[in-house]
C-alpha cells in the first residue's frame, strides 16, 4: 500500500529515488511523484499512472536529498493533484497509511484560512508540520504526530535543509545506512543493493537523517538506538531474469521455495514444537491467499494432531469476541508480514496471553516482532502482486508444523519429494486450452471437496485477481444447493479432484455441470477420473502425490491457469487493477 523512499547523500537523488520507486511499484501504481531539494528549495514532479512516467523529468533534477512516493489510492481518486508529495509552506511530505481524523483536522486548518489542493487525507500532515515548524524539523514532526489518528509512515522535507525526517505508526519504515548517505523506505526491496545495514523503526519512533548521520528519537525527542541488521533484500528478486512477468518467474521459484522452507523449518523445529506444546485449540488466520493456506493448515492439524482448530479471515477475527479459555495458539499467516488486519489480529491474541506463531517470508516485518515464534517460509521477496511461491512455502511449512505437533516427522520425507513434483507439474501440464476456455467464459467456477475446496478458493481468487473474469469457489458438494443455477454453455467449471476417497462424489458434481451444457476442466492426479471424463472435459493431469500435499501441485496448476488467461486477455498479471501488494491499511 503506497511505497515511499527518501535519500540523502552525495548521489543524484532523483535518479536514486526513481530506481527505488520502480522497485516499490508493487505497493501501488495509481500515481507517483518525487520532491528533490535543490539550492534550498523543494522541486516536485508528479504523474498519474506508473512510475516510469517520471523518467522523462529526471534530467531536470540535480539535488542530493529527496523523497518519493508510489500511490495506491485510499482517499481521493488517482490524479495529479492527489499524487504525493504534498507541499504546504516550507514542508513537503509523502505518506503511507490512513489519517483517520483528517476530515476534522482539515476543517480546523481550513477555518484558519489554509487552502488544500488535494482530496487526500495526507495533505493535512504538511499543513500541521508547517504550522509547528520553528527551525527544528523533528520537533515539528513529533508535534504533528501527536495530532494524528490512524496509521502513517511519513517522510518529510523542509526548505533549506539537506535532511529528511520520518515518523512511523502501524506502517513500516526502514532506515538504510549507506556510505556517506542514508535512506528511508517503506520496504526493504527499495534498498536492495544500496546499503549493507538497516534499522527497522518501531511504532512511535521518529528519525532524522542527513548524509552523515541517522538519528532515531522517541516521542519525547530523546535519542534512542535500534539494532542494526543486515540488509536481506536481494537485487536478483527484483529482476525478471528472462521471464516476461514476475508472476510466472515466481511460480517457477516454487520448487526452490519448498526446498528452502524445509531447511529453514528444520532449523526452528524445537522452538515451534515447544511453542505449541500443551496447546488445546488453534486459530488460523490470514487474508486472501494466506487465508486459503490457513484452511489447509487447519485440515493438517485436525487430521494429524487431532487438535480442535478454527480459521477466520484476519479482518473478521480481530473484531470478534475472543474465546481464550482453553490454551489457545494463533497461527497468523502472511507473506508480507505487514498486512494490517493480520498484524492487528496477532496483536490482539498476544494481548490476551495466547501463543502467537507467524508463518511468513518477511524476516523483519511487523508480525515477526509480535509473534512468539516465526515459522519461516523461505520464499524471498515476492514482487508479483498475486501470491504464488509464498503460498507454496506456506503450505509446506503448515504441513510440517502439523506433522511436528502430531509427532509424525516421518511425513517430512513426503514434503522433500514435492520440489521435483512441482517442477514436473510446471514442465508437463498443458494449460493453454483451458486458459482459452477461461478467457472466453462469462464466469468461471472452481469446485473441490475437502482440501481440494481450499485450493478451489485459491484458484478462483487468482483468476479473478489477474484476469477480471467473475466467478467463485465452492465445495463441489454445494453445487446442487444453488450455484448450479449459474451454469450454462457460456460458463466454465474447474474441478480439483485429488482425493481418491471422495473422487466419485466430485465426479458426480462434474456430471451435473455437463448435463447443463456447462464446460468443464478437471485438475487431477487420479487416473480413474481422467479415464471417466476423457473427451468430455479438459483434463489437466498432475503427478500423483500424498493427498494433503496435493495443494502444492493443484494450486501451481491453477496459478499458471490464471497467469495464462491474463496474458491471453492482455491484462498485466503483475499489477492487477485496483490492487497492491502488502495491504498495510484496514
Ligand atoms: C492474492 C494475494 C492477496 C494476499 C493478501 C494477504 O494473490 O496476494 O490476497 O494473499 O493480501 O497478504 P499477506 O500474505 O502479505 O498478508
Domain locations in the chain as residue ranges:
3-237, 240-416, 429-576
Establish whether domains 240-416 and 429-576 are of one fold: yes
Outline where DSSP puts E strands in 469-576.
Answer: 471-475, 491-497, 519-524, 538-541
| Residue pair 183/13 in contact by the 8 Å Cβ criterion | no
- The answer on pLDDT for 75 being more than 90 is no
Tell me how far the alpha carbon of residue 545 lies from the centroid of ligand 1, in angstroms: 26
Return the number of other C-beta atoms located less than 10 Å from residue 489's C-beta: 10
pLDDT value for 27: 83
Helices and strands (DSSP H and E) totals, the chain:
17, 25
pLDDT value for 426: 97
- The answer on pLDDT for 585 being more than 80 is no
Grid cell 533534477 — which residue?
A: 61
**Residue 492 zone, left/alpha/beta (φ > 0; ψ -120 to 50; rest):** beta
Tell me how far the alpha carbon of residue 422 lies from the centroid of ligand 1, in angstroms: 21
Question: Which cell numbers in the block locate residue 46?
Answer: 508528479
**Considering only CA atoms, which of 330, 298, 328 is closest in space to residue 314?**
330
Return the number of other C-beta atoms located less than 10 Å from residue 351's C-beta: 11
Reported as a single tens digit per residue, the pLDDT across 477-524 is 999 999 999 999 999 999 999 999 999 999 999 999 999 999 999 999
Question: Which cell numbers in the block locate residue 316?
Answer: 473478521
- The answer on pLDDT for 2 being more than 80 is yes
Tell me how far the alpha carbon of residue 286 lies from the centroid of ligand 1, in angstroms: 8
- Pocket around ligand 1 at a 6 A CB cut-off: 287-290, 334-336, 339, 342, 386-387, 461-462, 465, 582-583
**Residue 485 zone, left/alpha/beta (φ > 0; ψ -120 to 50; rest):** alpha
| Residue pair 261/396 in contact by the 8 Å Cβ criterion | yes
Reported as a single tens digit per residue, the pLDDT across 442-463 is 999 999 999 999 999 999 999 9
Tell which wins on pLDDT, 158 or 529.
158
Q: In what order do the strands lie in the sheet containing 309-313?
A: 309-313, 281-286, 328-333, 355-360, 373-376
Please compute the mean of the pLDDT values over residues 365-388 and round it to a whole number: 97
What residue owns the CA closest to ligand 1's atom 9? 288
Q: What percent of the chain has pLDDT over 70?
A: 100
491 SS3 class: strand
Q: From the CA of 286, give the closest atom in ligand 1.
A: 16
Reported as a single tens digit per residue, the pLDDT across 106-156 is 999 999 999 999 999 999 999 999 999 999 999 999 999 999 999 999 999
Tell me how far the alpha carbon of residue 14 lies from the centroid of ligand 1, in angstroms: 31
* Number of residues written out for the chain: 586
| Residue pair 148/99 in contact by the 8 Å Cβ criterion | yes
| Residue pair 199/230 in contact by the 8 Å Cβ criterion | no
- The answer on pLDDT for 318 being more than 90 is no
Q: Say whether the peptide bond before residue 85 is cis (omega within 30 degrees of 0).
A: yes
pLDDT value for 469: 97
Reported as a single tens digit per residue, the pLDDT across 188-213 is 999 999 999 999 999 999 999 999 99
CA distances from residue 234 to 128, 248, 380, 381, 583 in whole angstroms, order as listed: 37, 18, 8, 8, 22
- The answer on pLDDT for 181 being more than 90 is yes
Question: Which cell numbers in the block locate residue 129?
Answer: 508540520
What residue owns the CA closest to ligand 1's atom 10? 289
- The answer on pLDDT for 15 being more than 90 is yes
| 445 CA to centre of own chain | 25
Tell me how far the alpha carbon of residue 467 lies from the centroid of ligand 1, in angstroms: 17
The band of 544, judged by pLDDT with boundaries at 50, 70 and 90, is very high
Return the number of other C-beta atoms located less than 10 Å from residue 37's C-beta: 25
pLDDT value for 18: 97
Tell me how far the alpha carbon of residue 212 lies from the centroid of ligand 1, in angstroms: 38
Reported as a single tens digit per residue, the pLDDT across 430-439 is 999 999 999 9
Dihedral over alpha carbons 408, 409, 414, 418 (to 10 degrees): 120
| Residue pair 54/15 in contact by the 8 Å Cβ criterion | no
Rounded Cα gap, residues 41 and 14, in angstroms: 14
**Considering only CA atoms, which of 445, 395, 447 is closest in space to residue 422?**
395
pLDDT value for 580: 84
- The answer on pLDDT for 324 being more than 80 is no
pLDDT value for 435: 98
The band of 78, judged by pLDDT with boundaries at 50, 70 and 90, is confident
**Considering only CA atoms, which of 540, 534, 542 is closest in space to residue 514?**
534
Tell me how far the alpha carbon of residue 3 lies from the centroid of ligand 1, in angstroms: 16
Tell which wins on pLDDT, 359 or 27.
359
The band of 29, judged by pLDDT with boundaries at 50, 70 and 90, is confident
Helix axes 389-405, 254-276, angle to 10 degrees: 30
Q: From the CA of 342, give the closest atom in ligand 1.
A: 16
**Considering only CA atoms, which of 443, 431, 442 is closest in space to residue 562?**
431
Please compute the mean of the pLDDT values over residues 310-326 and round it to a whole number: 89
Reported as a single tens digit per residue, the pLDDT across 210-257 is 999 999 999 999 999 999 999 999 898 899 999 999 999 999 999 999
- The answer on pLDDT for 25 being more than 90 is no
Rounded Cα gap, residues 68 and 42, in angstroms: 12
Please compute the mean of the pLDDT values over residues 68-72 and round it to a whole number: 92
Mean pLDDT of all residues in the chain? 95
**Annotated active-site positions, please?**
2, 581
* CATH code of domain 429-576: 3.40.50.10490
Non-local (6+) Cβ contacts of 15 within 8 A are: 58
Tell which wins on pLDDT, 323 or 229.
229
Rounded Cα gap, residues 9 and 180, in angstroms: 6
The band of 583, judged by pLDDT with boundaries at 50, 70 and 90, is confident
pLDDT value for 66: 98
Is CATH 3.60.20.10 what the domain over 3-237 is classified as, yes or no?
Answer: yes
Please compute the mean of the pLDDT values over residues 365-384 and round it to a whole number: 96
pLDDT value for 321: 84
Outline where DSSP puts E strands in 89-205.
Answer: 91-99, 150-158, 164-169, 174-177, 182-185, 197-200
Q: What percent of the chain has pLDDT over 90?
A: 91
**Considering only CA atoms, which of 279, 403, 289, 396 is closest in space to residue 335?**
289
Q: Residue 459: phi, psi to the nearest 5?
A: -60, -40
What residue owns the CA closest to ligand 1's atom 5? 288
**Considering only CA atoms, which of 173, 175, 172, 192 is closest in space to residue 183?**
175
88 SS3 class: strand
pLDDT value for 317: 92
pTM recorded for the entire structure: 0.94
The band of 287, judged by pLDDT with boundaries at 50, 70 and 90, is very high
Rounded Cα gap, residues 72 and 32, in angstroms: 9
Dump the DSSP string for 410-440. GGHHHHHHHHHHHHHHHHH---HHHHHHHHH
Grid cell 489447509 — which residue?
A: 296
Domain covering 240-416: architecture:
3-Layer(aba) Sandwich (3.40)
Question: Which cell numbers in the block locate residue 14?
Answer: 532523483
Amino acid at each position: 500500500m503506497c511505497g515511499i523512499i527518501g535519500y540523502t547523500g552525495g548521489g543524484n537523488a532523483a535518479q536514486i529515488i526513481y530506481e527505488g520507486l520502480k522497485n516499490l511499484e508493487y505497493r501501488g501504481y495509481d500515481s507517483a511523484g518525487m520532491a528533490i531539494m535543490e539550492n534550498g528549495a523543494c522541486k516536485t514532479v508528479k504523474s498519474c499512472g506508473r512510475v516510469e512516467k517520471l523518467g522523462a523529468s529526471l534530467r531536470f533534477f540535480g539535488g542530493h536529498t529527496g523523497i518519493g512516493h508510489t500511490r495506491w489510492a485510499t482517499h481521493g481518486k488517482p490524479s495529479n493533484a492527489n499524487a504525493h508529495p504534498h507541499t504546504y509552506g516550507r514542508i513537503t511530505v509523502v505518506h503511507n497509511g490512513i489519517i483517520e481524523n483528517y476530515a476534522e483536522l482539515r476543517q480546523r486548518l481550513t477555518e484558519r484560512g489554509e487552502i488544500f489542493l488535494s482530496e487526500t487525507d495526507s495533505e493535512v500532515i504538511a499543513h500541521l508540520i508547517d504550522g509547528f515548524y520553528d527551525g527544528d524539523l523533528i520537533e515539528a514532526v513529533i508535534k504533528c504526530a501527536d495530532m494524528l489518528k490512524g496509521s502513517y509512515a511519513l517522510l518529510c522535507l523542509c526548505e533549506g535543509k539537506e535532511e529528511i525526517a520520518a515518523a512511523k505508526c502501524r506502517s513500516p519504515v526502514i532506515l538504510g545506512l549507506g556510505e556517506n548517505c542514508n535512506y528511508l523506505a517503506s520496504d526493504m526491496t527499495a534498498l536492495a543493493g544500496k546499503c549493507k545495514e538497516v534499522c527497522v523503526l518501531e511504532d512511535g519512533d521518529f528519525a532524522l537523517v542527513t548524509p552523515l548521520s541517522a538519528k532515531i528519537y522517541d516521542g519525547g525527542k530523546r535519542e534512542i538506538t535500534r539494532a542494526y541488521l543486515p540488509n536481506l533484500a536481494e537485487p536478483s528478486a527484483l529482476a525478471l531474469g528472462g521471464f516476461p512477468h514476475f508472476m510466472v518467474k515466481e511460480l517457477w521459484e516454487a520448487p526452490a521455495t519448498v526446498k528452502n522452507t524445509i531447511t529453514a523449518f528444520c532449523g526452528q523445529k524445537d522452538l515451534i514444537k515447544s511453542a505449541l506444546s500443551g496447546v488445546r485449540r488453534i486459530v488460523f488466520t490470514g487474508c486472501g491467499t494466506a487465508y486459503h493456506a490457513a484452511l489447509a493448515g487447519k485440515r493438517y492439524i485436525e487430521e494429524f494432531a487431532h487438535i480442535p482448530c478454527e480459521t477466520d479471515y484476519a479482518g473478521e477475527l480481530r473484531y470478534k469476541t475472543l474465546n481464550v479459555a482453553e490454551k489457545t495458539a494463533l497461527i497468523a499467516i502472511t507473506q508480507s508480514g505487514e498486512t494490517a488486519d493480520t498484524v492487528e489480529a496477532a496483536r490482539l491474541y498476544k494481548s490476551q496471553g495466547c501463543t502467537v506463531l507467524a508463518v511468513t517470508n518477511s524476516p523483519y516485518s511487523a508480525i515477526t516482532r509480535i509473534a512468539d515464534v516465526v515459522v519461516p517460509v523461505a520464499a524471498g521477496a515476492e514482487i508479483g502482486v498475486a501470491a504464488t511461491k509464498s503460498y507454496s512455502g506456506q503450505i509446506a511449512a503448515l504441513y510440517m508444523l502439523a506433522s511436528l505437533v502430531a509427532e509424525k516427522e516421518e511425513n517430512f520425507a513426503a514434503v522433500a519429494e514435492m520440489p521435483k513434483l512441482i517442477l514436473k507439474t510446471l514442465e508437463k501440464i498443458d494449460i493453454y486450452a483451458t486458459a482459452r476456455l477461461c478467457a472466453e467464459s462469462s464466469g468461471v467456477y472452481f469446485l473441490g471437496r475437502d482440501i481440494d475446496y481450499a485450493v478451489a478458493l485459491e484458484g478462483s481468487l487468482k483468476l479473478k485477481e489477474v484476469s477480471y473474469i467473475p466467478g467463485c469457489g465452492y465445495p463441489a458438494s454445494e453445487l446442487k444447493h444453488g450455484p448450479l443455477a449459474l451454469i450454462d454453455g457460456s460458463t466454465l467449471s474447474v474441478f480439483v479432484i485429488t482425493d481418491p476417497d471422495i473422487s466419485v462424489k466430485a465426479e458426480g458434481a462434474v456430471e451435473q455441470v455437463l448435463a447443463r451444457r456447462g464446460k468443464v476442466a478437471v485438475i487431477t492426479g487420479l487416473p480413474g477420473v481422467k479415464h471417466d471424463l476423457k473427451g468430455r472435459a479438459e483434463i489437466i493431469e498432475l503427478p500423483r502425490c500424498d493427498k494433503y500435499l496435493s495443494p502444492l501441485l493443484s494450486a501451481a496448476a491453477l496459478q499458471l491457469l490464471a497467469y495464462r488467461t491474463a496474458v491471453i486477455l492482455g491484462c498485466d498479471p503483475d499489477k492487477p487493477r485496483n490492487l497492491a501488494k502488502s495491504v498495510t491499511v484496514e
